[in-house]
Amino acid sequence: MSSTPANHAIWARRLSASGCLSLTDPNFAIYLDSIACVGGLRSEFRFPRKECKSNSQQEAASNNTESINQTGTVEEEPNTEDESNACVYLCGNSLGLQNRRTAEMVLAELDVWADQAVQGHFVHSEGRNWKNMTDLVNPILARLVGAAKSTEVACTGSLTTNLHILMTTFYRPTKERYKILCEANCFPSDLYAFTSQIEMHGLDPKEALISLTPRPREFTLRLEDIISAINREGQSIALITAAGHQQGCIVGWDLAHAIGNIPLELNDWQVDFAAWCSYKYLNAGPGAIAGLFVHENWTSDPTKLGGPHGRPRLAGWFGHNPATRFQMPDQYEPMRGAGQFVHSNSDVLSVISLYSSLQLFWSYPGGMSGLRARSEELTGYIEMCLQGLSSYVNPQYAVDYPDSLNEQQSSRARTVGFTIITPSIPAQRGSQLSLMFLPSGKGLVIKIARQLLELGIVADEREPDVIRFSPVPMYNSFEDCRKTVEALNSILETQNLTSAVSS
């Protein structure tokens, strides 16, 4: 929920019903959690301990061998299952938490490897033979991205690798049409991929890569500016995709921060291709196997891809027809659908980790729609609590902070302030709020993030100015949000950050 007058009224009614007077009252957060449809999923996840350390502390600890006993084995960690010992974890946009089924299911595959070795590809004690392991996850991924059928998706590779594979097919520049339109300051791996693809075709990225930037004194792209750029060069995925198609463009999406976060309908929206990672909102673990989508419009006609007249497509043996794959014929016969973009046997341990997590999405009442509704509640709550802090700065004053404040505002302004640069309209954002700390360019976030961690709050910092909070509906609570706001406020109110500002 955004902080509109209507939503202010909703929160006011909830406050009244709870008997509390403040959004940040601990009893109000407890009340909200008591009436929320949590579905019991929080208990399905393992949270970091409050003893979790900053990066520098972790590096120092990794060089300390005192925890290794005389037999050369590592001493066991104490039991830390107590919820009171858990960190507040609002970093699922960077790495999702491990669910409690994962270790058991991964260990089961290790047992199959130990007991059956190569036969595990064909005969599996749990009924999950390795050669068809991705058949477990593809139907669930298809539901999450809004594919018409499971053959529109493939569980394979990594995000950047999949982008390269897909762009080899779909980026076919001509003299008249050779430009790639993308968001400025996107994740650098995407930018590296786009630049290298352009260079592979002998083109100059300065001419062929169009990077969209927000308007002056704004922090996010407007939908109308994206569509205008598409129309000129020849926030709704459907609208942007349609605008691209009207100009004859191929439209692909990086869904790293979308899959498992917001409902998607890629088939209905006529998206040509998409790629994603699985370690954020899909909770599949660090560096987990990724996925891709190719619309059936491209794969239903076998002449469109590969062969002498179709678009080129990189091939590998696990993209071959599974009926004859292990006969290893010389002639390549592509699978139906997106599977033909798969090259190699998948990492079984990574796939089973993903599968253990994906099963939880439909354990939640309402599935993805239910999770999205809860996400809007959590994000709306933490947004309103943050906006109530005295250190909050309206975005219109953020660019020139603190000079942009009038005399009355300046008198109550903190040395360090923050604004929220994420769109306030729920339909234009996922579960993440990006806070930009002011004055900008002072490198404040490292110190603030370290102090948050010391208070047991795990957030995601992006130098030089941004810290991101992401309340994930599957495992975060209103109390998590309240504690985060309380901790941030205590840092900004009581900690001396003047030296960082003046340096």
- Give the N- to C-terminal CA distance of the chain in Å, as an integer: 38
Burial of 353 (0-12, 13-18, 19+ CB in 10 A): buried
| DSSP code string of 206-234 | HHHEEEE-PPTT-SS--HHHHHHHHHHT-
Burial of 442 (0-12, 13-18, 19+ CB in 10 A): middle
Print burial letters for 305-338: b (CB count within 10 Å at least 16), e (below 16). Answer: bbeeeebebebeebbbeeeebeeeeeeeebbebb
pLDDT tops 50 at residue 196: yes
Distance of alpha carbon 73 from alpha carbon 71, whole angstroms: 6
Q: 443 versus 459: which is more confidently predicted?
A: 459
What is the enclosing helix (H) or strand (E) of 160?
Answer: helix 159-170
Quick one: CATH architecture of 5-66+82-86+368-502? Alpha-Beta Complex (3.90)
- Residue 79: band (very low, low, confident or very high) from pLDDT cuts 50, 70, 90: very low
Could you confirm whether domain 130-358 is CATH 3.20.10.10?
A: no
Distance of alpha carbon 376 from alpha carbon 202, whole angstroms: 45
pLDDT tops 50 at residue 159: yes
Taking Cα atoms as reference points, which of 456, 378, 415, 411 lies closest to residue 87? Answer: 456
Q: 2 versus 488: which is more confidently predicted?
A: 488
Residue 186, pLDDT score: 74
Chain centroid to Cα 262, Å, comes to 10
CA angle 487, 488, 489 (to 5 degrees): 90
Please state, as a whole number, how many other Cβ atoms lie within 10 Å of the Cβ of residue 447.
Answer: 18
Residues 6+ apart with CB under 8 A from 353: 102, 105, 106, 284, 285, 288
Poorest-confidence range of 219-233, 326-340, 429-443, 459-473?
219-233
Mean pLDDT of all residues in 200-217: 82
Mean pLDDT of all residues in 353-374: 93
User: What's the DSSP call for residue 424?
Assistant: S
Mean pLDDT of all residues in 123-147: 95
pTM, whole model, 2 decimals?
0.86
* Binding-site residue positions: 159-160, 187-190, 254, 257, 279, 317, 345
Same fold, 5-66+82-86+368-502 and 130-358: no
Please state, as a whole number, how many other Cβ atoms lie within 10 Å of the Cβ of residue 384.
Answer: 19
Domains of the chain, by residue range, sit at: 5-66+82-86+368-502, 130-358
pLDDT tens per residue, range 376-432: 999 999 999 999 999 999 887 777 776 655 544 554 444 789 999 999 889 889 999
* Binding-site residue positions for pyridoxal 5'-phosphate: 159-160, 187-190, 254, 257, 279, 317, 345
pLDDT tens per residue, range 216-271: 766 666 767 666 765 665 444 566 678 888 888 889 999 999 999 999 999 999 99
